Amino acid sequence: MAFDQTNILDRPGESLDHDETDGLISSEKVDGTAVYNRQGERLGSIHHLMVGKRDGRVRYAVMNFGGILGIGERYHPLPWDVLTYDTDMGGYSVDLDKERLEGAPSFERGQEPAYDRVYAERIGGFYGRI
């Protein structure tokens, strides 16, 4: 698995709020933060994190977008390490154009995936992180 130099939530040069330090960030602050692609198009925002119960490792930052009052919303689990923080945009940046996003693994509310090994490989394969 490859890691970027600047990883998710890395905000160099930006002054830090109380809910953030150099190394750590609050789950409160992550949720709701916008996600853009490299073309500067807004793809959605982080809705929640999926955390490993035993090891406490964040497996996915789940982005959502679309829908009205929750109907028709789609959720896209993104591997933690595909997201970088863009201080200019004020949100996370991911290398994913809109067309490719349409083919990305996603689900609707109430139809959550099993998040098992098969699903992890599917996500990893799509985002080139296996």
Instruction: List residues binding a copy of itself (CB under 8 A).
Output: 3, 7-10, 18-19, 21, 23-28, 30-31, 48-59, 62, 80-81, 109-112, 114-116
Minimum CB separation of residue 88 from a copy of itself in Å reads 18
The secondary structure of residue 36, as a DSSP letter, is E
Q: Which is nearer to a copy of itself, 41 or 130 (CB)?
A: 130
Report d(CA 40, CA 33) in Å as an integer.
15
Minimum CB separation of residue 52 from a copy of itself in Å reads 6
Report d(CA 128, CA 85) in Å as an integer.
19
In the block, tokens 């130099």 appear at 5
Q: Which is nearer to a copy of itself, 9 or 63 (CB)?
A: 9
Planar angle of CA 75, 82, 85, nearest 5 degrees? 95
Minimum CB separation of residue 104 from a copy of itself in Å reads 19
